[in-house]
Structure 1
Amino acid sequence: MTDLITRSVPDIDYLSPKLFDDLGIVQTIVANDTVYVSGIAPLTDASGELDVAGTTLTEQLVYVLGVLERSLAAVGVGREGLVAWTIYTTDVPALAECTPILKDWVGAHPPTSTWIGCSGFIHPQQLLELTATAVVS
């Protein structure tokens, strides 16, 4: 059964493999034809510390969508393979204002979507986090 599951932390200019290892998680899992993408935070650890990428929700969302695209591409999937995402945010009204960005990003292949308001994240300046599910076509 485990030969049908591939776990990876792809080299996509995101967080370091060591951080994923320290957390006991991976960035992507491919199980059969389904791709699961771990929560993507607008963070970088290039300095050796966790730093937030952008100060506004819009900046953080654009960064997270870039990481999502690279995560999917690393396992051979394009945007058209995205079937669902969940976006967690500390500011649902600000996320609602970003609907045009989300709509433009998915284009002709909209996924199912869930938005969840929450009180905070691992980094105090983090405003959102996104998880995604895709299929290999």
Structure 2
Amino acid sequence: MTPMPNHSITVCTSCRHKGTTCKPGFQLIEKLKDAIEAAGDAVSDDFEISGVACMAGCDRPCTVAYHGSRKAAYLFGDIDPDADVDALVTFARQYATLNDGWCNASARPQKLRAATLARVPAAIIAMEADVGRAS
């Protein structure tokens, strides 16, 4: 039985280059899947790659998100399917090793430093004891 991936990479499929009908997300998904597979077990078994209709990064297409359970999530924009796949794979390797997903911009691949649109802290749900309430 194949283990479930611990991490996800989500690519916007509706982003368009300004003034064109080109939707680079579909191309990026295929290139990223191929590159992750070529990276071998160090990355491929731990990541699921999928597309989503919109991530609200329309002014900076193509947008890509990294997320994992109990980890900070990242949203990157201005990703070029022809030039940036290596940086995305490098960050996947890095992200997989980060316990909480947190890293400074200077630790990310050069291309992704300026392409970071957001880093969202991991959701932590606090539960209070239900003390003193009668049923």
TM over 0.5: no
Comparing both chains, which one has the higher relative contact order based on Cα–Cα distances under 8 Å and sequence gaps of 6 or more?
1
> Which is greater in Rg?
2
Q: Which has the higher strand share?
A: 1
TM-score, structure 2 normalization: 0.29
